[in-house]
């Protein structure tokens, strides 16, 4: 297109801008491999595909009340170091074998990180941790790492944040979350309606459950929506609806929402919406005041309610890493096994907590 033709499509103020300023305001794009291409490059072996199916069915059985075990989704707030993630997985798998009769442990394999403003967006975005945002390398590394975690025998969980990225990992996951900021999104509700795995919708940032209930009802229905096919082309996507959604309580701006009173209100909200009373409590975020050391107290309080007969509590979430706390990215060399996003519970405390829970159950 000629420069004169371009000028015809711009407003007078735009056409008078220097070319350099116009370029600065333009979005640049680089093509990524399609989901089909990456899955061909890094295929899911048949035996691991069967393992993922078994894990999905096990989680469904807990949600439906056919399995009395407690679902526990735990692990790093976000993955940034493959070596540390694999070490955590090996420790977690050994613990899972000990407590398997009472707890089903699912490892967080979060490769996307929601940001309120700006910051590191996760391994899929910035695998080199330097702001270069090499997303092609990030998608490849994330899928490679998830396959490595599956080889350790664990079910995997991830937050579905960017809908375009979901298809790169959907075959590897046994559980997924929709975050508090995206539960209200129609696009995410449509996406969930086509996912063949259990998905938890978190309550809104205000702490209320009405938005999540609406999301669960929407995702349970079939949809036709705009999307991208496996080859990367725009497509009309038809979904069947997802019957395996549930509520995740994570607190809100007004504080925690895991008390007996809050759980009663949540059950009433689910019942009013015609939904099954299936609740997972996130022991981090607003429920712990973003203090990782308080997660065990939240876990203990919710476990007591379950032991007292509240069968609507089907699971809990924990943020844990090899070592406790968090560190800032870009401030010197990184400490091994420490989160670079939200603060996490250390392994020793996590192990004590889960062994104690299994004994009490």
Give a yes or no: residue 24 inside a domain.
Answer: no
Instruction: Name which of 26-35, 117-126, 243-252 the model is least confident about.
Output: 26-35
Q: Looking at residue 129, what is its pLDDT?
A: 96
Length of the chain: 361
Give a yes or no: residue 314 inside a domain.
Answer: yes
Give a yes or no: residue 12 inside a domain.
Answer: no
Q: Looking at residue 330, what is its pLDDT?
A: 82
Give a yes or no: residue 124 inside a domain.
Answer: yes
Q: Looking at residue 240, what is its pLDDT?
A: 97
Give a yes or no: residue 48 inside a domain.
Answer: yes
Domain CATH for 154:
3.20.20.70
Instruction: Grade residue 10 by pLDDT with cuts at 50, 70 and 90.
Output: very low
Residue range 47-68: mean pLDDT, rounded: 98
Residues 6+ apart with CB under 8 A from 246: 63, 198, 199, 200, 201, 216, 276, 278, 279, 280, 314
CB 32 within 8 A of CB 139: yes
Give a yes or no: residue 10 inside a domain.
Answer: no
Give a yes or no: residue 28 inside a domain.
Answer: no
Give a yes or no: residue 18 inside a domain.
Answer: no
- Judged against a pLDDT cut of 80, whether residue 45 lies above it is answered with yes
Residue span of the structural domain in which 185 resides: 36-360
CB 347 within 8 A of CB 321: yes
Total tally of structural domains belonging to the chain: 1
């Amino acid at each position: 297109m000629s420069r004169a033709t371009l000028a015809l499509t711009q407003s007078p103020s735009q056409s008078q801008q220097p070319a350099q300023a116009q370029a600065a305001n333009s979005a640049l794009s680089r093509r990524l491999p399609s989901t089909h291409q990456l899955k061909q490059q890094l295929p899911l072996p048949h035996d691991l595909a069967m393992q993922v199916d078994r894990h999905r069915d096990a989680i469904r059985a807990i949600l439906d009340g056919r399995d009395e075990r407690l679902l526990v989704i735990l692990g790093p707030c976000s993955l940034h170091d493959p070596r540390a993630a694999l070490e955590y997985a090996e420790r977690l798998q050994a613990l899972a074998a000990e407590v398997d009769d009472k707890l089903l442990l699912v490892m967080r394999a979060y490769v996307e990180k929601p940001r309120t403003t700006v910051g590191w967006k996760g391994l899929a975005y910035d695998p080199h941790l330097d702001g270069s945002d090499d997303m092609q390398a990030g998608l490849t590394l994330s899928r490679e790492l998830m396959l490595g975690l599956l080889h350790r025998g664990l079910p995997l969980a991830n937050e579905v944040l960017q809908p375009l990225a979901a298809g790169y990992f959907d075959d590897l996951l046994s559980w997924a979350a929709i975050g508090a900021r995206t539960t209200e999104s129609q696009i995410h509700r449509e996406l969930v309606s086509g996912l063949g795995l259990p998905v938890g919708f978190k309550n809104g940032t205000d702490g209320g459950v009405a938005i999540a209930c609406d999301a669960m009802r929407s995702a349970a229905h079939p949809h036709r929506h705009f999307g991208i096919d496996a080859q990367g082309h725009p497509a009309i996507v038809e979904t069947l609806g997802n019957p395996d959604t549930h509520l995740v309580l994570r607190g809100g701006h007004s504080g925690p929402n895991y008390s007996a009173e809050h759980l009663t209100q949540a059950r009433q909200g689910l019942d009013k919406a015609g939904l099954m009373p299936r609740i997972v409590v996130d022991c981090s975020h607003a429920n712990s005041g973003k203090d990782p050391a308080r997660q065990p107290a939240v876990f203990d309080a919710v476990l007591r309610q379950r032991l007292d007969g509240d069968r609507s509590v089907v699971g809990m979430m924990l943020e844990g890493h090899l070592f406790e706390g968090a560190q800032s990215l870009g401030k010197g060399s990184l400490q091994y096994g420490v989160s670079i996003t939200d603060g996490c519970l250390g392994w020793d405390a996590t192990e004590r907590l889960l062994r104690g829970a299994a004994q009490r159950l």
